[in-house]
Amino acid sequence: MRTVKSAEERKEEILDVAEQLFAEKGFDNASTNDIINKIGIARGTLYHHFSSKEEILDAIVERMMSRSIAGAKAVIKDTRIPLTDRIVGAFLALNMDSGAGAGAEVLEQIHKPQNALLHQKTQERLLGEVVPLIGELIEEGNRSGMFHSQYPLEAAEMIIVYSNTAFDGSEELTPEQKMAKIKAFIYHTEKILGAEEKSLEGAIMKIITGR
Amino acid sequence: MRTVKSAEERKEEILDVAEQLFAEKGFDNASTNDIINKIGIARGTLYHHFSSKEEILDAIVERMMSRSIAGAKAVIKDTRIPLTDRIVGAFLALNMDSGAGAGAEVLEQIHKPQNALLHQKTQERLLGEVVPLIGELIEEGNRSGMFHSQYPLEAAEMIIVYSNTAFDGSEELTPEQKMAKIKAFIYHTEKILGAEEKSLEGAIMKIITGR
DNA sequence: ATTTCAACCGACAGGTTGTCGGTAGTGCGA
DNA sequence: TCGCACTACCGACAACCTGTCGGTTGAAAT
């Protein structure tokens, strides 16, 4: 039996299944056969839509990142919101990933041991697109006297790189440990930005505890 | 013709060749056939000494890291050296990797695009072993009034994670750009540690410009 | 109804990892 | 000096994986 779908629809279907399989078994251990069997399509069909397995991975990263980057941008550009809230909000948008309710359990596993490649590609995208955005935000904070950062871009890079890798394997941490780690991260972020102590922590609490 | 070597000797030989091939072509693209052909041994011989390709990678990481960690430890424990110099020295020992003159050109390529897995495994080792060491050093600095770090361990983690990933693809940077990036990193490190400005930069210059 | 085109199929080539029964040096005790 | 045991070594082989390619079929346009 042969089912025909529009290219776009089929591509999304492939990405959905591949994303789940890569997260479950890792990029290397999940085979293209796994993908096509789960969907019920032939080998040729997969390669009609994507020219290689790696291209599928790239498309997944692209999809994930463009979603969360769009979310972050929306927050960043909303000048009605106070600056600290915009920075914090942007981070939340990025680290929550997904944005949509795609499936948190999948994304919990996605940054990790076997998925080194995916993590790498994600970070490239972050460095290229998000760092400049955050950098501008920091400069804005400099102008308003809230921050005192001598190297806004590099500060942004340091914060983003760390937050993207440090909280990877944090499933095995107890909630208290995780909380402590986040607190330390915020503290150091304030130092890096030359911000007043607790200034960011306050914004986070405000957002988390329902505005 | 059949050449017999001691297990230890053969293992080292395999690791040497594999390390070079992985660096050149990446872990995935370098095949076990490449390794055995280059050495001139049979398939079974390779798997007599290592039970999988990944185990070879692990052994390479183990070898590299134990070398550079040993170097870093030596510097850290040498209490005759001033504290800042010990911290900086430990970092140099780690980032120069190798320690021995193993072959700089190989190591320049080793942290990178295709070698995501290796990078990952390296970082795990860094987090597990080096962070506590640096953490202690920071505490010592706190006691001597040189640093004012509220979270020594987390500070160490942030510094190490960043330095291990940020300077990865920095071949494509001009020397000036690279220097600027390093300078910013030092600056931020001082902020994170609550150290006086230029205190670390001074130590680095002292070491680099021949003591 | 016919043409055209894109989605789809599945056999196949070429390459990869890991296994396994067997072989041959090497060192040690008799 | 002979024999025995141990271990490094060998290479054919199974199982799997990715990417290709000529051919097929459904659907939309003419």
pLDDT digit string, tens, across residues B1-22: 688 888 899 999 999 999 999 9
Pair B98, B67: CB distance under 8 Å: yes
Determine which of B114, B119, B120, B147 to mutate to test the interface with A (most A C-beta atoms within 10 Å): B120
- What is the rounded average pLDDT of the residues B75-98? 83
Tell me if A151 and B184 make a contact (CB, 8 A cut-off).
Answer: yes
pLDDT, chain A, mean: 87
pLDDT at A159 over 70: yes
Residue carrying the six token digits 């700089």: B104
- Which of A123, A166, A184 has its CB closest to that of B151? A184
Question: Whole-angstrom Cα distance, residue B89 to residue B73?
Answer: 10
Residues of chain B contacting A113 with CB distance shorter than 8 Å: 120
B154 touches strand C (CB under 7 A): no
Q: CATH 1.10.357.10 in chain A: give the residue spans.
A: 69-209
The protein residues having a beta carbon less than 7 Å from any atom of strand D are: A 2, 4, 31-34, 43-44, 47, 51-54; B 2-7, 10, 41-45, 47-49
pTM of structure: 0.89
Q: CATH 1.10.10.60 in chain A: give the residue spans.
A: 1-51
| Maximum average pLDDT range among A107-111, B39-43, B86-90 | B39-43
Instruction: Please state which of the ranges A103-112, A130-139, A143-152 shows the lowest mean pLDDT.
Output: A103-112
B 154-173 → A contacts, CB under 8 A: 154-155, 157-158, 161-162, 165-166
Tell me if B155 and A119 make a contact (CB, 8 A cut-off).
Answer: no
Residues 6 or more apart whose Cβ sits within 8 Å of residue B55: none
**What are the backbone angles phi and psi of residue A91, rounded to the nearest 5°?**
-65, -40
Q: Which amino acid is at A123?
A: Q
pLDDT at B109 over 90: no
Nucleotide minimizing C1' to CA distance for residue B13: D8
Domain A1-51, CATH among 1.10.10.60, 3.40.50.300, 3.40.50.460, 1.10.150.20 = 1.10.10.60
Residues of chain A contacting B151 with CB distance shorter than 8 Å: 184, 187-188
Distance, Å, B10 CA → C25 C1': 15
pLDDT, chain B, mean: 87
Separation in Å, CA A204 to CA A73, A182, B153 = 18, 11, 23
In CATH, what is the architecture of B69-209? Answer: Orthogonal Bundle (1.10)
pLDDT digit string, tens, across residues A33-61: 999 999 999 999 999 999 999 999 999 99
Task: Give the rounded percent of residues in chain B with a pLDDT score beyond 70.
Answer: 87
| Contacting residues 12-41/A vs strand C (CB within 7 A) | 40-41
Tell me if B151 and A187 make a contact (CB, 8 A cut-off).
Answer: yes
Residue B101: the pLDDT is 42
Distance of CA A27 to the CA centre of its chain: 18
Distance, Å, A179 CA → C30 C1': 70
Residue A203: the pLDDT is 79
pLDDT at B104 over 80: no
Question: Whole-angstrom Cα distance, residue A168 to residue B82?
Answer: 35
Q: What is the largest CA-CA distance in chain A?
A: 67
Residue B100: the pLDDT is 42
Could you tell me if B120 lies within 8 Å of chain A, comparing CB atoms? yes
pLDDT digit string, tens, across residues B32-46: 999 999 999 999 999
Residue A99: the pLDDT is 38
* Residue of chain A nearest B113, judged by CA positions: A120
Nucleotide minimizing C1' to CA distance for residue B6: D8
Positions of strand C less than 7 angstroms from a protein CB: 6-12, 15-22, 24-26
For A67, counting Cβ atoms within 10 Å of its Cβ (0-12 exposed, 13-18 middle, 19+ buried), the class is middle
**If you ran DSSP here, which 8-state letter would residue B128 be given?**
I
pLDDT digit string, tens, across residues B135-158: 999 999 999 999 999 999 999 999
Q: What is the largest CA-CA distance in chain B?
A: 67
pLDDT digit string, tens, across residues A69-106: 999 999 999 999 988 889 888 888 887 654 344 445 55
Among B12, B6, B113, smallest CA distance to B60 is for B12
Could you tell me if B28 lies within 8 Å of chain A, comparing CB atoms? yes
Tell me if A162 and B166 make a contact (CB, 8 A cut-off).
Answer: no
